[in-house]
Structure 1
């Protein structure tokens, strides 16, 4: 059990759980079009064990039981994502009515159970036909995405408690176009520079489209790290500053200051879209809230690799099963930094959790959540306006390039039988959220 009471967070604090469509839905018939993760995972060597999201957790059919788990756990909200190729199979054009009907049932099911729907428009499953046209490298994606946002607003907007445009634009752009770890798997600096700008330009266009349809409570979800130098040498401090610019400040500065950090624009100068500065007013459209996904820190030193200014190194802290350092203080530091340096709009921790090898008993995960929720309390005490916390994830699921090898869930999933079994971490949240002391 946790070492604090729900009332320590105040009466209006939102506790939720989070998932993503490709990671849990399955249901890849029913009119759904192919996504870049279907082809990326089908390519040998890209994903652990060749795993794909073909069946995942079969949430497409088992969603009523999954919503019951959220309700019974005492959670206020469910952060889910729409699958673009399920709603518009070719990315643009004809709408898949079966997809609309599925999300109608899902959202109505949340409301019937007293669960607030927190929606994300894009959690990485780009329709393959749009990748054929350049995907995030093509400026036209801003218009394709705005049209998709309009559909979401028209079909579902009046039932959504909050709507985020894009989940983790760093992953959409840098991880997927420079490091090549996620779909579409590029390792190309020009592709990276274009994707880094276009993902934020598309976000701004989608904000305009959603607002034009009357959708309220709009935001975006950034994954942020606590960037730190390996040593206090001048070279390592400079490396940390560059790493922070690439991981954090490109997105924070773009969204809230209408400009990109100089370290990055100088590095990417030959590759950025022509006259990108003219788009910055759209990039920095006002938001109602900001989501922050936090898992670990980035530890940096100067790099000897040609063309790569910095290198991330392993630190000495305790690791999760995926190899990420456990560093709760970093969450407090980030929340306070964003609040002090960037914006006073409400902040939400939209993902936080750990991969762990276990069955129903997961004491390290219980401690992880306990420590990170204390970090949220510390940030609030320091003045950060943090309004909610979403645990990642409700279910063990398809963990992208890690396949089914890593388990983040509060609820264990047997992928052969699709049996759901709540873990001790789920019971800890259940005790916290049902406890009025």
Structure 2
């Protein structure tokens, strides 16, 4: 699903990128927090070191003496985690918290500024030591002042801060992922409108995508419109070629029909019959191709809705002037104001093909009916001829082949009608008519009418 969806790819990419950025942020913020605590600790130690230095004096033999000690409860408790020590070559003075332990001496003590280092301190405690070498007077005895603080509380504070920060950043990741989803949804919304326009282009070759006000979408819109122009040009060219070919064959067929009549007049009846069958088959094929040309043009230019009853009456009037049609009774059961959202010529083409077959195979009567609802329209043509079986009708329509090859009682007109009705968004089915013959039903709409 993710591999085939641009939306999910963008969302996954955004979620992973945000997660990676927040992990890096967590690492850096944790380090910055630790550095901040270390600076605060160093500042605290230096402050107390300055207090020690201000209260420091030396005895005549060089022993250090501290008149006032920093006031911190940890300094009074053995192994309290906070320690100070002042030492010279003559002796050492230290806080009560050190008890009988000593702070490790530096390898290269500094006399210019306070230095901080981390070592393993007394009582197996890791400590941070701030130290400096002082001289109380020029040429005096050097005095090493050291203050140490247990670093374990610092590590605990860092771990607690890291856990709380991780929970906060996880919640922030969810919020940012939701924001990314909204951004992707809004960003891809113009593509949804393009999808609707493409559906309209599928129904009508003359439809084009509307111009987009987004610079990133406009090149895609222009490319699709150029492709649609090329497709429409190719379809128009193919339609003209097919129509020219079909019309061009009519003249040779007319000449062949004239030769057939002359052969019949001269007594070559069997040869004339064979020619007539061949001419009829060729004419049927030409008419089918012309109908398919008409199908290819359906939807290219919108037209007014067809008046169903008026169209049926006009077709029946033509059929009643034929030899077979003049012997049949036609019944029309169609509301006078019924309209169908197809062009008048298309409706005439599909109904004409079906009525032609009905006239050919009906015995005495043909019934044409129609019904409509809010979202559907249904037309039926029934005759009292021999009809066809349900199995043969379903098989023929599913194959989409020429129904005149399915057996007696059907003709090429049904195949043409099927292609026409499907091109206009409808459907067709064949079954047994109440009159005993074939019932052809056309349906357009959202739900099937029974």
Alignment TM-score, normalising by the size of structure 1 = 0.17
Alignment TM-score, normalising by the size of structure 2 = 0.17
Q: Which has the higher contact order (CA 8 A, sep 6+)?
A: 1
Structure of higher CA gyration radius: 2
The structure richer in helix per residue is 2
